[in-house]
Amino acid sequence: MQSQKVQTCGKHYIGNEQETQRNPTTYPNGTTKQESVSSNIDDRTIHELYLWPFYEGVKAGMASVMCSYNRINGTYACQNSKTLNGILKEELGFQGYVVSDWGGTHSGLDSALAGLDMDMPGAIEWGSDSGNNSYFGNNITMMIQNGSLAESRLDDMVKRILTPYYFFDQENYPTIDLDTAQLSKELYGSDIPSFSHPFNLGNSTDINRDVRGNHKDLIREIGSASAVLLKNTNNTLPLPKDIKRISVFGNDAADVSGGPYDPSNTNGVLSMGGGSGAGRLTHLVAPLEAIKQNNPQALIQYVTDNALLTQQPSETLYTVYPAADACLVFLKSFATEGADRLSFLADDNSTAVVDLVTGSGTCPNTVVILHSAGANLMPWADNENVTAIIAAHLPGEQAGNAIVDVLFGQVNPSGKLPYTIAYNESDYNAPVVNFTNVDNNDPNLWQSNFTEGLLIDYRHFDYNNITPRYEFGFGLSYTNFSISDLQIRSASNGNVSPTPQALNGTIPPPGGNPDLYTVLASVQVTVSNTGDMPGRAVPQIYLGFPDSTNTSSPTPVKVLRGFDRTKILQTSQSVTMSFDLRRMDVSSWDTGRQEWVIPAGEFMVLAGWSSRDLPLRGELQLV
């Protein structure tokens, strides 16, 4: 992104794992009733889990970081000196600027001293002038004048904000495209145009500037590449190109009925999330439309009203005749910024829809496609009439064409699950909670204690020996692959210092101590296409840490440390894949030393296709 002179922003920093009570609630007079939820996370877990992507982002040179709405161990993220000054700017050597999430600032001086560089949107209350009604603004001038804020800190804020602006030559960029009001007249007021209004930049030549380029082709490719094939009994997929009869069911198959922007609570395909994760679609290709275009020779029948299917099943299914060669059931599970999902099941009576279609006697060959932002329970997965399942996630405006490419074999699926799908809700260690005590007047009522530590997702399932329905990293292909010839090479022959080299100076370069990124070992495997169709494989490398690893909290059985997608391999073709293991990859955060430390003893190196399918094993000792 920054290669195109666009600033990146890493967010949300940090521990923003819950949307419920992400902002404080107030009494009618404006005083605080209950503070934002506090994410209470121990030091080791912050470093080894939640801080990890920020290490990588800062090392890569991202321009800014957005602090989150929640509190961290009792202090708001945007005025938390430990996480902003101590960890982000000092430990990680972050040289860019910290910007608040919109309305996430709750103080002026305390936030500035804690490391916040930019207060957004400026005004304390949206829709008002940000000059005198801001935690920063004119108050910064007052802080400088009364000596409560050092001028050097203001200089630091300005340098951090302007450095990426000039580094990326943004003063010479074209005018800004904004889906908002004319900035000279309105500032977040009640008259601000909604997402359904046209762009208005005050210059007619700039309205609706088309910057899409090859987006249509790219998002179609991304959509099909992110689809995960979970089940494919008797090679149901890919469907034959000369298929004669197709029946399509489910309200996720059709065009949206609620307009081009807001995907919530509307009939139609789910292509994106809600809130700030949404956008205006220039056009949307629904699955049903794409299926029709792809199969002009076929009889295509469809019922896309879930309520009709579940309330009048006999009358509705009776109209679908003759029986189809394949039934396609499209389900969805909406998620949005600002709210937590209330169920692990897909929306709109999804289970009943699948049960009715597969139980009608007319659909013994049913393919279920699920558009969802995350993990869902699949109680119908063992249904013998459900012969294939695809987790299609949120594919964007080419949703229909992307799934058709997978269904009919134009694309061989290579997606892998970035989460675990359980058999039961109780298998997860973060169950859906019905919190009923919300009227309590305790301002610190909302506490989220991260007692699971490092044991999230597959790590929890491994540690507690719970069998998942579909494990982390799982995903089928239309062909078969083998993995062999595991080779592990240490760069030091077991003579590595357990701690990184000392820094020359107090503040490290971006990413923290450079020695954390020193390659200490490499892992190599050979991947071969042993099937009868070209395809891509995704080998994965996991590490099991020695028994001597930090005992301050439970250590996962294994952790993912590398994965990559091969080029398209023709039948009988092989490729060698290599993965580097850096010092940080083989270290644990020692809370006593406040340092990354390589544990003594043997690491177990595992290679394979998912967190539960790792046929290759070897050992590595570094210290």
270 φ/ψ sector (left φ>0, alpha ψ -120 to 50, else beta): beta
CA terminus-to-terminus distance, the chain: 39
Strands 299-303, 245-249: pairing kind: parallel
- What letter would DSSP give residue 436? -
3-class SS of residue 526:
strand
Question: Which residue in 417, 455, 479, 444 sits closest to 613, CA to CA?
Answer: 417
Which phi and psi (to 5°) does residue 150 adopt? -70, 145
Q: At 423, list the tokens.
A: 């058999």
Length of the chain: 623
Whether the Cβ atoms of residue 160 and residue 95 lie closer than 8 Å to each other = yes
User: What does the alpha-carbon distance between residue 576 and residue 555 come to, in Å, rounded to a whole number?
Assistant: 31
Task: Quickly count: other Cβ atoms within 10 Å of residue 159's Cβ.
Answer: 12
User: What does the alpha-carbon distance between residue 309 and residue 317 come to, in Å, rounded to a whole number?
Assistant: 7
Strand partners, 243: none
Strand partners, 525: 577
Q: At 513, list the tokens.
A: 């101590």
3-class SS of residue 610:
strand
Question: Which residue in 602, 607, 600 sits closest to 620, CA to CA?
Answer: 602
CA distance readout (Å), 210 to 177, 200, 205, 357, 475: 10, 14, 11, 43, 36
User: What is the chain's Cα-based Rg?
Assistant: 27
Task: Quickly count: other Cβ atoms within 10 Å of residue 176's Cβ.
Answer: 10
Distance from CA of residue 287 to its chain's centroid?
A: 23
Does the annotation mark 101 as catalytic? Answer: yes
User: What does the alpha-carbon distance between residue 80 and residue 115 come to, in Å, rounded to a whole number?
Assistant: 8
- What letter would DSSP give residue 503? P
Q: Please calculate the CA angle 89-91-95 and round it to the nearest 5 degrees.
A: 30
Question: Which residue in 109, 120, 121, 123 sits closest to 153, CA to CA?
Answer: 109
User: What does the alpha-carbon distance between residue 213 and residue 223 come to, in Å, rounded to a whole number?
Assistant: 17
Across 290-365, the runs of DSSP E, i.e. the strands, are 299-303, 326-333
User: What does the alpha-carbon distance between residue 452 and residue 516 come to, in Å, rounded to a whole number?
Assistant: 26
Question: Which residue in 122, 25, 120 sits closest to 441, CA to CA?
Answer: 25
Give every CB contact of residue 277 below 8 A, 6+ residues apart in sequence.
Answer: 336, 337
Catalytic residue among 43, 101, 405, 590: 101
User: Where in the sequence numbering do the catalytic residues fall?
Assistant: 101
